[in-house]
């Protein structure tokens, strides 16, 4: 039946595209419950009524009300995601955010979009050890996934942005990333694009501002949720055969001898695979002029060389690894942990040699591969 629905929606989307801001989210309406392609509960009525999303929710879509608050319904293995009260999700806002996320015009020379470094096919990362922005300039850190970033208590490897909204205001003005000279410059550029003028007016009831741009992007990012991996089906849906015997051994090591769960946490109800905290594993600390990570934000000695625990969801898709991309494969990461990390004065107390056997190492890697979701968008 869906094959009939799709063209119908596309036609409606075209008819209503003036209303609904951007038709392409609606054109992606082929799998209503696939969360990671972005918001798809958007009806062709767009943002006409604030309740549009709630209506969609009744039809089994993504935005729900729980405990009187707006939340995004999560796939198996993740908790429903809270939406901040000052940036409610509306269909039009999400569609606008998606448009902005993929738009290279947010960069000075129209060559780089958020998606350039946060490619959804790679779980919202790029394939580089560090990212490349305009004019081929290299940054100092690896791009963390934008998928599931909404679950992070703080944004960036060092946690310097408190919210997705704050985070989204950074990259356009970073001279290495998107290179916009000023807020005014970007606002003027966007005002010159009729589509954006209309859509901001419709979604926010006012002119284009950087704050509203960031709100729209953040709303879109809150739809980039991905779970329901073989691990989730095994752990949270009781599907015994969802992961291999070797992966089950690996899970035992993950929570036991390997002590991985100390930082990459999961609970009886869901798995974020992060403690949302900062730890020094010694990554890069053997360099001449090391990146001091969390210390750059807090100025506290103990935070030197500490970085945010990344989630391990879709980890097989996001090589190379660590904040500086210094480990190329999951096998290398496991060897790194087996050694107890890199010695340095602030090494986290949880880091110590693990004495894993080759089979145990292989099992850990197999376990991590079971964290790849099938809902990663293929477009």
Residue pair 21/96 in contact by the 8 Å Cβ criterion: yes
Residue at token pair 């305009």 = 134
Q: How many CB atoms lie within 10 A of CB 184?
A: 10
**Given the complex with ligand HEC, which of 30 and 166 has the nearer CB atom?**
166
Residue at token pair 């209506």 = 55
**Given the complex with ligand HEC, which of 23 and 122 has the nearer CB atom?**
122
Q: How far is the CB of 308 from ligand HEC (least distance, A)?
A: 6
Q: How far apart are CA 337 and CA 341, in angstroms?
A: 5
**Given the complex with ligand HEC, which of 355 and 378 has the nearer CB atom?**
355
Number of helices followed by number of strands (H, E) in the chain = 14, 5
Q: How far apart are CA 162 and CA 2, in angstroms?
A: 40
The residues, ordered by sequence, that sit 6+ positions from 114 with a Cβ below 8 Å of its Cβ are 100, 101, 102, 106, 146, 171, 217
Q: How far is the CB of 226 from ligand HEC (least distance, A)?
A: 13
Closest CA to 220 of 35, 24, 38, 18: 38
Q: How far is the CB of 58 from ligand HEC (least distance, A)?
A: 30
The residue ranges of DSSP E strands in the chain, in sequence order, are: 63-66, 69-72, 81-82, 278-280, 306-308
Q: How far apart are CA 301 and CA 296, in angstroms?
A: 10
**Given the complex with ligand HEC, which of 77 and 293 has the nearer CB atom?**
293
Q: How far is the CB of 67 from ligand HEC (least distance, A)?
A: 26
Q: How far is CA 77 from CA 14, 42, 271, in A?
A: 36, 24, 6
Q: How far apart are CA 24 and CA 44, in angstroms?
A: 11
Residue pair 240/234 in contact by the 8 Å Cβ criterion: yes
Instruction: Name the β-bridge partners of 327.
Output: 321
Q: How far is the CB of 131 from ligand HEC (least distance, A)?
A: 4
Q: Give the catalytic positions in this structure.
A: 177
**Given the complex with ligand HEC, which of 87 and 167 has the nearer CB atom?**
167
Residue pair 220/102 in contact by the 8 Å Cβ criterion: no
**Given the complex with ligand HEC, which of 202 and 215 has the nearer CB atom?**
215
Instruction: Give contact residues for ligand HEC (rule: CB under 6 A).
Output: 112, 114, 116-118, 131, 133, 139, 141, 143-144, 146, 149, 152, 155-158, 164, 167-168, 171-172, 177-178, 217, 258-260, 262-264, 279, 281, 283, 307, 309-310, 312, 315, 318, 321-323, 330, 333-334, 337, 348, 350-351, 364
**Given the complex with ligand HEC, which of 55 and 160 has the nearer CB atom?**
160
Q: How far is the CB of 190 from ligand HEC (least distance, A)?
A: 12
Rounded (10°) angle between helices 194-204 and 91-101: 150
Q: How far is the CB of 232 from ligand HEC (least distance, A)?
A: 18
């Amino acid at each position: 039946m869906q094959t009939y629905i799709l063209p119908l929606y596309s036609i409606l989307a075209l008819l209503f595209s003036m209303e609904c801001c951007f038709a392409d989210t609606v054109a992606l309406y082929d799998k209503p419950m696939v969360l990671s392609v972005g918001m798809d509960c958007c009806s062709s009525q767009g943002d006409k009524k604030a309740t549009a999303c709630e209506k969609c929710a009744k039809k089994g879509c993504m935005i729900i009300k729980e405990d009187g608050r707006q939340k995004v319904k999560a796939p198996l293995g993740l908790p429903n995601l809270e939406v901040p009260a000052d940036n409610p999700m509306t269909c039009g806002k999400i569609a606008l955010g998606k448009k902005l996320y993929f738009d290279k015009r947010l960069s000075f020379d129209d060559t780089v979009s958020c998606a350039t470094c946060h490619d959804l096919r790679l779980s919202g990362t790029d394939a580089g050890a560090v990212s490349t922005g305009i004019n081929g300039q290299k940054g100092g850190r690896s791009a963390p996934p934008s998928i599931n970033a909404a679950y992070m208590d703080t944004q960036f490897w060092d946690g310097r942005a408190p919210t997705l909204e704050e985070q989204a205001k950074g990259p356009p003005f970073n001279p290495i990333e998107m290179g916009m000279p000023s807020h005014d410059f970007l606002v003027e550029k966007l005002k010159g694009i009729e589509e954006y003028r209309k859509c901001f007016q419709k979604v926010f009831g006012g002119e284009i501002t950087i704050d509203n741009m960031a709100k729209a992007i953040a709303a879109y990012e809150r739809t980039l949720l991905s779970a329901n991996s073989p691990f989730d089906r095994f752990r949270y849906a009781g599907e015994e055969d969802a992961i291999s015997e070797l992966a089950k051994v690996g899970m035992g090591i993950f929570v036991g001898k390997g002590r991985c769960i100390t930082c990459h946490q999961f609970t009886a109800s869901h798995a974020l695979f992060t403690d949302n905290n900062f730890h020094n594993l010694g990554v890069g600390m053997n360099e001449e002029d090391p990146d001091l990570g969390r210390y750059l934000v807090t100025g506290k000695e103990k935070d030197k060389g500490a970085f945010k625990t990344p989630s391990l969801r879709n980890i097989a898709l996001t090589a190379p690894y660590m904040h500086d991309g210094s480990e190329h494969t999951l096998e290398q990461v496991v060897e790194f942990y087996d050694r107890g990390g890199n010695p340095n004065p602030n090494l986290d107390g949880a880091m110590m040699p693990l004495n894993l056997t080759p089979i145990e190492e292989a099992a850990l890697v197999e376990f991590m591969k079971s964290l790849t979701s099938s809902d990663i968008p293929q477009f």
